[in-house]
Structure 1
Amino acid sequence: MTISALQKARADYQPKLPKSLKGAVKIVDGAATESVADQEDIQKLFPNTYGMPLLTFEEGAESANIPAVNVGVILSGGQAPGGHNVISGIFDGIKKLNPDSKLYGFLGGPGGLVDHEYKEITADFLEAYRNTGGFDIIGSGRTKLEEEAQFDKGLEVLKKLDIKALVIIGGDDSNTNACVLAEYYAAKKAGVQVVGCPKTIDGDLKNEMIETSFGFDTAVKVYSELIGNIQRDANSAKKYWHFIKLMGRSASHIGLEAALQTQPNITLISEEVAEKKQTLQEIVDSMAQVIAKRAANGNNFGVALIPEGLVEFVPEMKKLIAELNDLLAEGSAIEQEFKMMKKSHRLEWLATQLSPESAAVFQSLPTGIANQLTLDRDPHGNVQVSLIETEKLLGEMVKTKLADMKESGDFKGKFGTQYHFFGYEGRCAAPSNFDADYCYSLGFTASVLIGAGKTGYMSSVRNTTAPADQWIAGGVPITQMMNMEKRHGHMKPVIQKALVELDGAPFKYFAENRDKWAIETSYLYPGPIQYWGPTEVCDRTTVTLQLEQAK
């Protein structure tokens, strides 16, 4: 097989581990936990896995003699850099526990468990995937493990392969499903542990015990390189405003971190829009003011960062989308009638089903955007916001606003736009040193949890702004992160998403500097990810983590 020079050199990289994972491991029980909200409801739903203690790993005196254990692993949801190193960490960890242990990968995501499609991951097979990006080792998928029939079908193949533990590598929804599965198997005394690992480039799976989700570091570094390149081009050509949409449906962590790394002229933060209850027009007006001020200084160019989920945080749009999600819920009478109707009549008819306020907003949108809001829902029953061209919507509205300002003499410059959407470009990049180390540590941590007989836990690695040998490994009960939310019209237990905290250090630093970045050309050019060289360049964490931990 032909591989690139980088792949060949990268294969020799040995990920760094916390001290506590390098030899024998001692597990220290912490305080008992409770869910972040809705404690009574969550405890009723998870009687066997609720209230478990936080776990911290320390260096132990001697290794315990642990029997061989067969482990299954699933990659769930969208790709994120470092997934292969999580699997490498699991493999090396269970082999350290007992060389006769085996690892099986379920193919194509959770569906592989239900459909009994799997592959044994051997040392020779795994070697080609260490320190590489992507999820191609076993593939991923978005099948949701929600029904008891699925759990029972999965249990059949787990029993067949004598698998005693299952590791689910995924985001908040996937780990919610892992928690449900752990509870079900515990209630049935099935003898199968379930452990989760925190993955998502969106960065919205985080809390005190999960400082960052894996893949976020690499993805934002990729996006920031591209943004820096565009800023250099903008400052060279001096004739375009670049409107860049970035991944981040439910939270603006990617946009905020990219802004901290590159210092663009405009960065919209969805959570701030929601806090201030800004309308679309107010957002457009503020953007137009920045563009006009830069034009007055002779700068008819700039860069604006826009989170893909922005429209859901604009109160008027959020209300509209919520109504549309309910109306167009899969299998509903209105959804079926809508699909049978002629396309030319759909939007007008759908407006009659909405509340007067939402109907007015819906009818004010460009036809293309309105159509995008009615497309098939995602597996969770929500509008697919990545298909909504928010950057173009804002660009067109800003153009109209500037035309009005030109007539009134408030804008005397030129306005030309270029549009970009950075998403897939960052999801499968070769992991940064941070993600390579972090993911390997998460996988190794999962193996220790398995060896200790734990279930319903998520791997936790903290103190991540320190050198890797000082990281703190352990486990956090997944139920601790859960609350009740409305999904498909019903209240369900889910892991609470972590949004950008407007009173947090990263946003405060951004807010203190954005007015200067708006008018001046203060661009930073972070360049491509570096794998070899000075530690301050190659092993640096995100600015978000540095500010949060004041380091």
Structure 2
Amino acid sequence: MNISALQKERANYQPKLPKSLKGAVKLVEGDKTESVADPKEIEKLFPNTYGMPLITFEQGDNGAQSAPVNVGVILSGGQAPGGHNVISGIFDGIKKIHSESKLYGFLGGPGGLVDHKYMELTAEIIDEYRNTGGFDIIGSGRTKLEEEAQFDKGLEIANDLNLNALVIIGGDDSNTNACVLAEYYAQKNTGVQVIGCPKTIDGDLKNEMIETSFGFDTATKVYSELIGNIQRDANSAKKYWHFIKLMGRSASHIGLECSLKTQPNITLISEEVAAKQQTLSEIVEYMAGAVSQRADNGENFGVALIPEGLIEFIPEMKILIAELNDLLAEGTESEKEFKMLRKSHRLEWVASHLTEDSAKVFKSLPSGIATQLTLDRDPHGNVQVSLIETEKLLGEMVKEKLGQLKKEGKFSGKFSTQYHFFGYEGRCAAPSNFDADYCYSLGYTASVLIAEGKTGYMASVRNLTAPAEEWVAGGVPVTMMMNMEKRHGHMKPVIQKALVELEGAPYKYFVSKRGEWALGTHYIYPGPIQYFGPTEVCDQPTETLKLEKA
């Protein structure tokens, strides 16, 4: 393998573990748990895995070596830095249980379990991937484990490999599916345990027992380095406003964390927009106001952070998109009529078929964005919201608003834009020391839960603002995080997404500072992730965690 000098050095890094995982481990069971909502419905659906107690690990007495365990591991969903260290932690953990324990990786995500595609992960393979980014050791995929036929196919290969357990490394949907699988295998008394690990750079899989999902720390540090670089450039050239869209469709955790790290002039928080029922026009006015005030101070430059999913949080845009989905639904008479029109007549035709309020919003959009809303459809015929170039939409509308202000004599500055989208750049980065340690601890925790015969649990490592030795490892029942939500027209049990908490300390601190950051130039330049050096530089958790635990 050709590897860089950094990768070679990082291969020698030994992740730090909580002291409770360094020797023999004793399990301490807490109170029985309830789901965050809809307890009767959740308990009815999960009679074998509902209400289980919280588990905390403590240092135990030296015990005899247990029997070997065979474990299968699956990487599910989008990539996140640290996945390889979760697998390394599982491997080292089960080898500590017994030297003849085996780890199998299912290839290409959950589909590998169903299709019986796997490989044994040996020490030689594992050692090549320690402390590296990406999911390329076995690959990932987005197959959903939802049907009994899939569960039964998975059980076939589990029996063939004599597996004691499966570990599913994924986000909220993947861990919901892991819980459904755990319940099914428990109900059938198969003897196959299922353990989850919390992964997503979006940061929306969190609660009091899961303080953060892995990968969030590294990804936000990568994005913040890039934002800092752009801020330095903006402050040097003094002639561009940079509109930066950041990954995170369902929640604005990434945008908030990057804002806390870099102190840009504008940061939009989707959850605030929804709570205040802000219109697109109000958002544009706020941004144009900041641009204008900075121009009055002779600063015709700045940086704005925009969450990827903002559009879906603006009430009037949500209504507009729903109307467009109905109007242009595949196979309808209106869709056929739309397609027969000349392209130059289509936008006017669409506006004439919308309600008055939605037509007004639609007409206010730049023509390129309006066209995008009518043409880019998913296989179900719906608007592909993730493809909307929100940063350009806002940039063009702010430009138009400033043009109006200039005619009124209320704006005399200059406004030029540069656009960016930071997403994939952060998903496979080499994990920070925090994520390398956290992920290894999560994997090791999963191995202990398996050794103790647990199923339907998610590995949990808490107290993350303390030194790693003081972290608290254990397990949390996945059903504890669930509620019932409507998905594709049916009520289903799912892990509740954690949105930015508007009463939370990180958001409140941001609100207390954003006026100052908007008008002044108070940029912070975080620089690249540091792996070697003093702990205050190399091992720090996110600003979000620090504020939450202050």
TM tier relative to shorter chain: over 0.9
In 2 relative to 1, CA 112–368 (structure 1 residues): closer, same or farther, beyond 3 Å? farther
Using the alignment, how far apart are the partners of 2:250 and 2:317 within structure 1?
A: 14
The equivalent of 1:306 in structure 2 is 306
1:379-437 superposed Cα distances (whole Å, 9 cap, x missing partner): 9x985433110000000000000000000011000000000000011000000000000
In 2 relative to 1, CA 532–189 (structure 1 residues): closer, same or farther, beyond 3 Å? same
The equivalent of 1:489 in structure 2 is 489
**Coordinate RMSD, CA, aligned:** 2.2
Using the alignment, how far apart are the partners of 2:162 and 2:328 within structure 1?
A: 43
In 2 relative to 1, CA 547–152 (structure 1 residues): closer, same or farther, beyond 3 Å? same
Q: Which is worse superposed, 240-249 or 38-47?
A: 38-47
In 2 relative to 1, CA 119–342 (structure 1 residues): closer, same or farther, beyond 3 Å? farther
Using the alignment, how far apart are the partners of 2:337 and 2:103 within structure 1?
A: 45
Q: Secondary structure at the match of 2:453?
A: coil
Q: Secondary structure at the match of 1:128?
A: helix
Q: Counterparts of 1:27-66 in structure 2 under 5 Å? A: 27-66=27-66
Say if 2:245 and 2:390, in contact at 8 Å, map to a contact too: yes
Using the alignment, how far apart are the partners of 2:390 and 2:49 within structure 1?
A: 41
Say if 2:366 and 2:396, in contact at 8 Å, map to a contact too: no
The residue type paired with residue 516 of structure 1 is E
The equivalent of 2:182 in structure 1 is 182
Q: Which is worse superposed, 251-260 or 63-72?
A: 63-72
Q: Give, in angstroms, the shift of residue 368 of structure 1.
A: 3.5
Say if 1:326 and 1:489, in contact at 8 Å, map to a contact too: no
Say if 2:169 and 2:175, in contact at 8 Å, map to a contact too: yes
The equivalent of 2:394 in structure 1 is 394
The equivalent of 2:234 in structure 1 is 234
TM-score (norm 2): 0.95
Say if 1:23 and 1:63, in contact at 8 Å, map to a contact too: no
The residue type paired with residue 140 of structure 1 is S
Using the alignment, how far apart are the partners of 1:353 and 1:472 within structure 2?
A: 58
Say if 1:326 and 1:488, in contact at 8 Å, map to a contact too: no
Q: Give, in angstroms, the shift of residue 490 of structure 1.
A: 1.5
Using the alignment, how far apart are the partners of 2:89 and 2:241 within structure 1?
A: 44
Using the alignment, how far apart are the partners of 2:427 and 2:536 within structure 1?
A: 24
In 2 relative to 1, CA 186–512 (structure 1 residues): closer, same or farther, beyond 3 Å? same
Q: Give, in angstroms, the shift of residue 157 of structure 1.
A: 1.1
In 2 relative to 1, CA 327–72 (structure 1 residues): closer, same or farther, beyond 3 Å? farther
The equivalent of 2:512 in structure 1 is 512
Say if 2:328 and 2:335, in contact at 8 Å, map to a contact too: no
The residue type paired with residue 457 of structure 2 is Y
The residue type paired with residue 245 of structure 2 is K
Alignment pair present for 1:501 and 2:465:
no
The equivalent of 2:461 in structure 1 is 461
1:482-517 superposed Cα distances (whole Å, 9 cap, x missing partner): 111111122111110101111111111111111011
Unaligned runs of 5+ in 1: none
Q: Give, in angstroms, the shift of residue 187 of structure 1.
A: 1.2
The equivalent of 2:131 in structure 1 is 131
The equivalent of 1:4 in structure 2 is 4
In 2 relative to 1, CA 464–69 (structure 1 residues): closer, same or farther, beyond 3 Å? same
Aligned pair count?
547
Q: Secondary structure at the match of 1:132?
A: coil
Using the alignment, how far apart are the partners of 2:42 and 2:70 within structure 1?
A: 30
The equivalent of 1:75 in structure 2 is 75
In 2 relative to 1, CA 410–70 (structure 1 residues): closer, same or farther, beyond 3 Å? same
The equivalent of 1:423 in structure 2 is 423
Q: Counterparts of 1:530-549 in structure 2 under 5 Å? A: 530-549=530-549
Q: Give, in angstroms, the shift of residue 369 of structure 1.
A: 2.7
Using the alignment, how far apart are the partners of 1:116 and 1:34 within structure 2?
A: 35
Using the alignment, how far apart are the partners of 2:44 and 2:175 within structure 1?
A: 19
Q: Secondary structure at the match of 2:149?
A: helix
Say if 1:252 and 1:499, in contact at 8 Å, map to a contact too: yes
The residue type paired with residue 58 of structure 2 is E
Q: Give, in angstroms, the shift of residue 339 of structure 1.
A: 12
Say if 1:25 and 1:57, in contact at 8 Å, map to a contact too: yes
The residue type paired with residue 427 of structure 1 is R
Say if 1:218 and 1:432, in contact at 8 Å, map to a contact too: yes
Unaligned runs of 5+ in 2: none
In 2 relative to 1, CA 433–109 (structure 1 residues): closer, same or farther, beyond 3 Å? same
Q: Give, in angstroms, the shift of residue 363 of structure 1.
A: 5.2
Q: Give, in angstroms, the shift of residue 350 of structure 1.
A: 6.9
Q: Give, in angstroms, the shift of residue 160 of structure 1.
A: 1.1
Using the alignment, how far apart are the partners of 1:115 and 1:125 within structure 2?
A: 22
The equivalent of 2:408 in structure 1 is 408
The equivalent of 1:257 in structure 2 is 257
Say if 2:66 and 2:98, in contact at 8 Å, map to a contact too: yes
Q: Secondary structure at the match of 2:421?
A: strand
Identity of aligned residues (%): 77
Q: Give, in angstroms, the shift of residue 13 of structure 1.
A: 0.1
